[in-house]
Amino acid sequence: MHLHLFCEIWDDFNLNLGKEYIPGPMLTVDEQLMPWRGRCGFLQYLPCKPDKYGLKIFWICDADNGYPLHGEPNLGKVGRSRKMNIGQNTAIALSEPYFGSGRNLTVDNFFTDLALSTHLLANNMTLLGAVGKNKRFYQINFKVEKG
């Protein structure tokens, strides 16, 4: 199947997802690995997932029932350039239709970023995200002292 045909089908699918559905106040953004072992230019390898190879899709869903509102396949890097802040850019792109709605966006540590929370707050949304101690934007020491 050619990529342009897939894109047309995918765009129609996304348009129909949110056509008749109004999401609740809590949204979530996460990734899903669709198992795939065939030939594909944007196949992902994620060793921590049960199916190690597949197509990675980023979803924004209603947190109350998991209804998917929009999905974006991760097509990998374009050309030789590396994309920076993939999590932040993806979360912003997926949540943009809900700017100004006062909704909350819940994400995992891949998406959590200070710039993302600032951007969402400026657009009348809030962010709840898991935080790893390896994130570089912290100014507070979260390590527990022994003794």
pLDDT tens-digit map of 113-133: 888 999 999 999 999 998 876
Q: Which residues of the chain have pLDDT under 50?
A: 1
According to the model, what pLDDT value does residue 139 have?
58
* Architecture per CATH, 3-129: 2-Layer Sandwich (3.30)
pTM: predicted TM-score of the whole model, two decimal places: 0.82
According to the model, what pLDDT value does residue 7 have?
82
Domain ranges of the chain: 3-129
According to the model, what pLDDT value does residue 81 have?
58
Q: Which residues of 101-121 are buried (b: 16+ CB within 10 A; e: fewer)?
A: eebbbbbeebbbbeebbebbe
According to the model, what pLDDT value does residue 39 have?
80
